[in-house]
């Protein structure tokens, strides 16, 4: 369990640093980060953020107003209504 907590803490810390950099570069803009991951990495990341819904193909994490949208691999090429 400790390793999992370290992993999520490191991920959130890096996301926060990225958020700070984006805010410095574009202070007045609305910002969204889209991350398309292979299904295994998507599932692991989703579980690290506490989302255990097996049917979820996308989820969002908000860090200081910056939306990180995580989607399963292939979802961008799917039908528009898929996500």
Residue 54, pLDDT score: 84
Counting residues of the chain whose pLDDT is more than 90, the rounded percentage is 66
Name the percent of the chain in helix, strand, coil, to the closest 5.
Answer: 45, 25, 35
| Whole-prediction pTM | 0.81
Distance CA 73, CA 83 (A): 12
80 has a pLDDT exceeding 80: no
| Mean pLDDT, the chain, integer | 88
Looking at per-residue pLDDT, the higher value among 4 and 9 belongs to 9
């Amino acid at each position: 369990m400790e390793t999992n907590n370290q992993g999520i803490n490191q991920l959130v810390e890096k996301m926060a640093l990225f958020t700070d950099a984006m805010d410095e570069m574009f202070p007045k803009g609305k910002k969204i980060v889209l991350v398309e991951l292979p299904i295994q990495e998507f599932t692991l990341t989703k579980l690290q953020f506490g989302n255990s819904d097996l049917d979820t193909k996308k989820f969002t994490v908000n860090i200081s107003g910056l939306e990180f949208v995580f989607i399963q691999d292939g979802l961008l090429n799917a039908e528009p209504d898929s996500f």
